[in-house]
Amino acid sequence: MTDTQLRVAVLGAKGRIGSEAAKAVEAAEDMDLVAALDRDDDIAELTKAGAQVAVDLTHPDAVMGNLEFCVGNGIHAVVGTTGWTDERFAQLRGWLDKSPQTGVLVAPNFSIGAVLTMLWSKQAARYFESAEVIERHHPNKADAPSGTATRTAQLIAEGRNAAGLGAQPDATSTALDGARGAVVDGVPVHAVRLRGALAHQEVFFGGTGETLTIRHDSLHHSSFMQGILLGARRVVSTPGLTYGLEHFLDLG
């Protein structure tokens, strides 16, 4: 270990993504993996290990407790864990207000293709009357819809609202519960759970005489690793809350 190495910890280090993130941190020349913690470990290990950044890839039930500890101890955080609500963001901002030098990145998705899907969906939204999101994940996923699909729908709604678009056309008057998906800010979101799937999303737009589909597929866990490492490098010099990896990408 040298003084210039970034001291990174991974929370959820036995999980599907956390285990890969721990390997990616270990392999990064400018980082040291100083702690790899999972459910039964004591989070106080982070301070003992001198962690500068904690990468949280745990569970929606665990992430807030982890963040309260990290921010309270001046440890920056890179968060991939889902389950974010307005109330949770308000709580996190409250903790950050008391620790103004600390940075937290909350990234609904660390893969570049998914980030672009979200940004392009917001851009496209203003031009189309109809927009729906279908996400597809492995059946071991705890939450539905995915954090990425939820954020995509929110961004589509922002694009629609800025363009003055009203409610989407939909004459459905009889439907089985759930047939039209969950509605996020006026945008239907459908979640498929499928053995063999990893993380996939299609965003459908419909206008007069045309449709547009933006599709992204994460085919391997490695799709998330570059974004996690970039987040860790950048969050240490970005105090406060950053929502979305796009803020750390040079997108022109």
Ligand X SMILES: O=C(O)C1=N[C@H](C(=O)O)C[C@H](O)C1
Ligand Y SMILES: NC(=O)C1=CN([C@@H]2O[C@H](COP(=O)(O)OP(=O)(O)OC[C@H]3O[C@@H](n4cnc5c(N)ncnc54)[C@H](OP(=O)(O)O)[C@@H]3O)[C@@H](O)[C@H]2O)C=CC1
Choice from 82, 117, 121, 242 touching ligand X (CB under 6 A): 82
Q: Which of 7, 76, 136, 137 binds ligand X (CB under 6 A)?
A: 137
Burial class of residue 129, CB neighbours in 10 A (0-12, 13-18, 19+): middle
Nearest CB to ligand X, comparing residues 18 and 159: 18
DSSP tag of 38: -
How far is CA 202 from its chain centroid? 17
16 binds ligand Y (CB under 6 A): yes
Nearer to ligand X, 66 or 82 (CB): 82
Of positions 96, 107, 225, 235, contacts ligand Y by CB under 6 A = 107
Q: Name the DSSP letter for residue 74.
A: T
Minimum distance, C-beta of residue 23 to ligand X, in the bound complex (Å): 17
- List 59, 141, 221, 247, catalytic entry: 141
Please give the DSSP secondary-structure letter assigned to residue 39.
Answer: T
Cβ closest to ligand X, residue 49 vs residue 231: 231
Q: Which candidate in 137, 190, 200, 216 is catalytic?
A: 137
Distance CA 114, CA 28 (A): 23
Active-site residue flag, 141: yes
Question: Do strands 103-106 and 240-243 pair parallel, antiparallel, or not at all (unpaired)?
Answer: parallel
Q: Answer with the entry of ligand Y, ligand X, none that 11 interacts with (C-beta below 5 to 8 A by kind).
A: ligand Y
Give which of 250, 233, 216 is closest to 24, Cα–Cα: 233
Verify whether residue 122 is a known catalytic residue.
no
Phi, psi angles (nearest 5°) of residue 232: -65, -40
**Residue of the chain from 6, 7, 8, 12 that contacts ligand Y (CB under 6 A):** 12
SS (H, E, C) 146-193: CHHHHHHHHHHHHHHHHCCCCCCCCCCCCCCCCCCCEEECCEEEEEEE
Cα–Cα dist 233/80, whole Å: 15
**Minimum gap (Å) between residue 234 Cβ and ligand Y:** 15
- Residue of 102, 109, 150, 152 that binds ligand Y (CB under 6 A): 109
The C-alpha atoms of residue 13 and residue 3 are separated, in whole angstroms, by 24
Radius of gyration of the chain (CA): 19
Q: Which string of x and - marks every residue 166-205 that binds ligand Y (by CB under 6 A)?
A: ----------------------------------------
Size of the site for ligand X (CB under 6 A): 9
Query: Known binding site for (S)-2,3,4,5-tetrahydrodipicolinate: residues?
Result: 138, 147-148
Binding residues (CB under 6 A) for ligand X: these are 82, 108-109, 137, 141, 146-148, 199
Query: Known binding site: residues?
Result: 12-17, 38-39, 80-82, 107-110, 138, 147-148
